[in-house]
Structure 1
């Protein structure tokens, strides 16, 4: 797959375009919003600078048909609306070449919600990136045709991504469900007055977040079991997990909580602008990616 069509020129579309271009692929893009099309090339160029890639330019099209007419892969990045995506995915498939694969970047919606109005739903798949796609390697895949999903997984691996394949569709997929569980408890801790926004964030970034960047929850607890590994952990410390689970809360998203979140974030950012925070995040993500090479996952450490 060498010809990519980006449909939706917002944050995710910009980021995907920059990544695809950095891998030597041709990119066409379309958005029905004039202002989104007008700023697209400049925003893509900025993301390519972050990647350290040579400048390349997408072709910004003025119609959906023009954007998809030569596409091998069409990437939909429209707002999270079932009705909008249903119609758009169906239109994209009718206009694209018959052999083209269609993927949706939806962060929460299910394949069965958005693909069934298309002529060939089995040739449409979920390919959810984690934001920002040009810097975070995860792509969550789900589709009803195993061959299509396998082709997509092979493609994303070939361009440096790390796809995971869902065996069953689920609202929010995998990563966002895990993130939502943590976010819910963070809000509960704030609402209960346990700690400040800044300290709750630091409890993640200076603690489990460091381990999560190199080992997910299951491997983390495997090591938590010491020499006995996960079996020992489950047998001897499993009850302590259930004890904690019973105390987890459900925050009430009322105006007081919203005000506390906003005030806490403003205090935690110490006057930094969003532009500064984005730049800081992206620079650290680049450094982290360089430090964590998937090829080193199974390298034996000499003791």
Structure 2
């Protein structure tokens, strides 16, 4: 097995989820987090995630016991072939961590950052030699949502980004390659664009927060779980494909784009969407909503898995 031993740096929700997934694939994992509560939190997370991972058929080779915990980052990376970094998104924190682990990393080890708000170029100065660092940005929770955005650049050694993508795919992920640095990478920017218009629709009185969410979940979101918007629009035009779609809807979409809103998250807007989210929850607790989300994603993953092989 390639990358038999992995390390997870940071034991928050993202790091704990990665740990569960890596263990499920049959790998051993060394976890680093300075918090005295880290081990309990991660073990509890693994216990909760394991039945879902088993339902998805991802635990055939794995055991939840192949994990060790460390309060020293250097100890956690020693001997690890693949290192997933998920510490807080502050450059000073990441750079300090990188300086600490670099002398202890194996020469051929790959380190991937889960960063969503920082770019690879911003993080690389934390290493004297950044050639083994790549972006490996997941969607939360990583053990359930398959996407990982992978990126290397001119400072990345040849083959490192390819090897990282190969590792992610071996543990059940779906990877895309990011070719140019932009804030938020790819999928977060798509989310931001949709959410901006969702807020505008609420703010301008078109629909409630709950109904906007329903419109997405019961409409385009359902289709987008199967295929992306460009492919779906191309299919929607019949045999004429994308050219026919654009010929027919060019003016329609140009008019819609001109009318899209540009809200900002000021205090007034935040108050509106906070109240709307509470109303849409209809009394369900955070834990109840999270459990429902995970159950629904699991069901969709099981249904879609045969088509993604």
Cα offset for 1:36? Answer: 2.7
Q: Does 1:4 align with 2:12?
A: no
Aligned to 1:96: 105
Task: Give yes or no for contact 1:224–1:233 (8 Å, CA) kept in 2.
Answer: yes
Aligned to 1:218: 230
Aligned to 2:171: 159
Cα offset for 1:252? Answer: 3.0
For 1:220 and 1:4, the matched residues in 2 are separated by 38
After TM superposition, which residue ranges in structure 1, 4 or more long, deviate above 3 angstroms?
none
Q: 1:183 aligns with which of 195, 205, 229?
A: 195
Aligned to 1:20: 22
Cα offset for 1:236? Answer: 2.2
Task: Give yes or no for contact 1:135–1:286 (8 Å, CA) kept in 2.
Answer: yes
Q: Does 1:193 align with 2:205?
A: yes
Q: Does 1:77 align with 2:79?
A: no
Aligned to 1:267: 279
Q: Does 1:56 align with 2:68?
A: no
For 1:225 and 1:173, the matched residues in 2 are separated by 30
Cα offset for 1:128? Answer: 0.4
User: Structure 1 unaligned runs (5+)?
Assistant: 299-303
Q: Which moved more, 1:207-216 or 1:261-270?
A: 261-270
> Deviations along 1:97-145, whole A, 9 cap, x unmatched?
1111111000121110011230221210000011110011111000123
Q: 1:33 aligns with which of 32, 35, 38?
A: 35
Aligned partner of residue 159 in structure 2, secondary structure: helix
Coordinate RMSD, CA, aligned: 1.6
Aligned length: 297
The TM-score, its normalising length taken from structure 2, stands at 0.92
For 1:65 and 1:280, the matched residues in 2 are separated by 38
Task: Give yes or no for contact 1:108–1:171 (8 Å, CA) kept in 2.
Answer: yes
